[in-house]
Amino acid sequence: MGRLDNEIAIVTGGASGIGEQIVDLFSQEGATVIAADINEAALEKANNKDNVVGMKLNVASDEEWAQVAKEIKERYGHIDILVNNAGISSEKAFKDIDLEDWQKMLAINGFGPFAGIKHIAPYMSEQKQGSIVNISSYTAQIGQGFNHYSASKGAVRALSRAAATQFGRSGVRVNTLFPGIIDTPMTQGLSESKELLNQLIQATPLQRLGKPDDIAKAALFLASDDSSYITGAEIVIDGGFSAQ
Amino acid sequence: MRLEGKVGIITGGASGIGRGIALAMAKEGAHIAIVDINEEKGNQTLRDISQYKEGMLFIRDISKKANIHPIINEVIDKFGKLDILVNNAHASKQASFVETTMEMMELSFGTGFYPTFHFMKAAYPELKKSKGKVINFASGAGISGQPTQTSYAAAKEAIRAITRVAANEWGPEGINVNLISPIALTEGVEAWSENHPELYEQMVNNIPLRRLGQPEEDIGRTAVFLASDDSHYITGQTIMVDGGSIKIY
């Protein structure tokens, strides 16, 4: 028996990195998972997995969200879990960041999760139950990273709390995960600088980087009934880095 | 079974939230040692958890420091190790700030803060061996500064502070130290709600999920998450299990 038997879950950015790990864990736990991603080659890989359906989605598109939400609702009759995981990062120095960079980052990392909640939460409200998990970043909390990425993750934090208040009374839970540095394709750049990497590990109480699985298991907890009294909460998964 | 073969100690484990955690953990395969001062309720909970896994019961006053080490030793003698320490016990009295007495402060620190501190110290060598998990208890009373809760709020925030320090110091040894800040419908709250139905309704209306948590299903299963391998990379954190009531930081 799985912890998400018969549940319908949507995971954005579900074709690689943390998202892929979440998709795999949720499907192992009995859910039917819609891996929504912009990357078509990756979607094909998702479609080859049991109980996983790849759907093309640009999270920055209101129209595509509306379409995807309607299609899933019509096909399955219910939507139980939404994980807003899709996002981009940037290595640009602050002096090089311009309005265009800012708008692109906020469109994907900020408007993306907002639009997901906008289009999915009403269905969950009708059902009187649902769990939304947003993926922010510890950079939204610790005062590191003066850039558009941290700002976008701060936006996720604020709108998660507001959504928890907005939809809590109709039984929809909204919570946020704050990963530290997780070993994924997105943070691969760091592993090329061994010295910096060692410094980061030394500064982390648990003395290692995070793994996609660390995030996936916390997402599973927040998606499942085990957390049915938790909403508007924030779980930092950074090996204790920001607790210092 | 997510805690198969693990061994845990739960203070205040006879009733309320502690009992809920004991049940949730035993159902996941853990041996639980309950520490409490209420013999009748302690025996009842021991009987209930024993349906799932052999447990232990200690009727001891943990506000006396000398009583703490022997509990750890007896658990080790019986089960050979200690994986989980849940510091849940806490007694306090409500009073306005200016009416709060030294005795009230001593009650709250003596039953909540100091036992948490002494249990963590006494359990540390064993937790180091098992790469164990500590779960302490915070409260919205402390985080939001609830009126009439001076002594309780102070002790609870003191517990949060030492939790973070221990998380940092013990992280390299693989020990996770976290907090739960709960709202739960315990026997005590249930009795209070019957005498104050209007206040109770007002309280529920201020909770986004419009209900109180259940000791076993809500608080217990969150404790299972924090005691399990699923939370291996989480330490020094306060998990709010309060229906959305408080957003911290």
Using DSSP's 3-state secondary structure scheme, residue A234 falls into strand
Inter-chain contact A231–B249, Cβ cutoff 8 Å? no
Q: Which of B114, B152, B200, B233 is catalytic?
A: B152
Going by pLDDT thresholds of 50, 70 and 90, the confidence category of residue B4 is: very high
Distance between CA A99 and CA A51 in Å, rounded?
Answer: 41
Digit-coded pLDDT (tens) for B124-180:
999 999 999 999 999 999 999 999 999 999 999 999 999 999 999 999 999 999 999
Going by pLDDT thresholds of 50, 70 and 90, the confidence category of residue A142 is: confident
Domains and CATH numbers, chain A: 8-182+210-235 (3.40.50.720)
Q: Beta strands B176-182 and B133-137: pairing type?
A: parallel
Q: Is A228 on the interface with B (CB under 8 A)?
A: yes
Q: Beta strands B84-87 and B56-59: pairing type?
A: unpaired
Residues from chain B that touch A173, judged by Cβ atoms under 8 A, are 209, 244
Q: Is the pLDDT of residue B245 over 70?
A: yes
User: Given strand A130-135, what is the order of strands in its sheet?
Assistant: A52-56, A32-37, A8-12, A81-84, A130-135, A172-179, A234-237
Q: Is A238 on the interface with B (CB under 8 A)?
A: yes
Distance between CA A8 and CA A132 in Å, rounded?
Answer: 12
Per-residue confidence (pLDDT) for residue A186, from 0 to 100: 67
Phi, psi of B23 (to 5 degrees): -65, -45
Write out the two tokens for A109: 């990392």
Going by pLDDT thresholds of 50, 70 and 90, the confidence category of residue A88 is: very high
Inter-chain contact A217–B168, Cβ cutoff 8 Å? no
Using DSSP's 3-state secondary structure scheme, residue B35 falls into strand
Q: Is B209 on the interface with A (CB under 8 A)?
A: yes
ipTM, two decimals = 0.83
Q: Which candidate from B168, B211, B239 shows the least CB-CB separation from A244? A: B168
- Using alpha carbons, select from B101, B21, B9, B117 the residue that is nearest to residue B63: B117
Clarify whether B152 is annotated catalytic: yes
Inter-chain contact B247–A237, Cβ cutoff 8 Å? no
Phi, psi of A230 (to 5 degrees): -110, 120
Distance from CA of B80 to the nearest CA of A (A): 25
Digit-coded pLDDT (tens) for A209-236:
999 999 999 999 999 999 999 999 999 9
Q: Which candidate from B213, B233, B244 shows the least CB-CB separation from A210? A: B233
- Using alpha carbons, select from B208, B181, B108, B11 the residue that is nearest to residue A162: B208
Stretch (H or E) spanning B211? none
The secondary structure of B85-124 as a DSSP string is EEE-------B-GGG--HHHHHHHIIIIIHHHHHHHHHHH
- Using alpha carbons, select from B62, B115, B85, B82 the residue that is nearest to residue B177: B85
Q: What percent of chain A has pLDDT over 70?
A: 97
Q: Which of A76, A123, A138, A149 is catalytic?
A: A149
Q: Which candidate from B224, B232, B249 shows the least CB-CB separation from A214? A: B232
Q: Which candidate from B174, B218, B232 shows the least CB-CB separation from A229? A: B218
Inter-chain contact B233–A239, Cβ cutoff 8 Å? yes
Inter-chain contact A218–B234, Cβ cutoff 8 Å? yes
Strand-pair partners of A41: none
Residue A66 CB contacts under 8 Å (≥ 6 apart), including other chains: A119
Going by pLDDT thresholds of 50, 70 and 90, the confidence category of residue A191 is: low
User: What is the pTM (predicted TM-score) of this model?
Assistant: 0.90
Domains and CATH numbers, chain B: 7-185+215-239 (3.40.50.720)
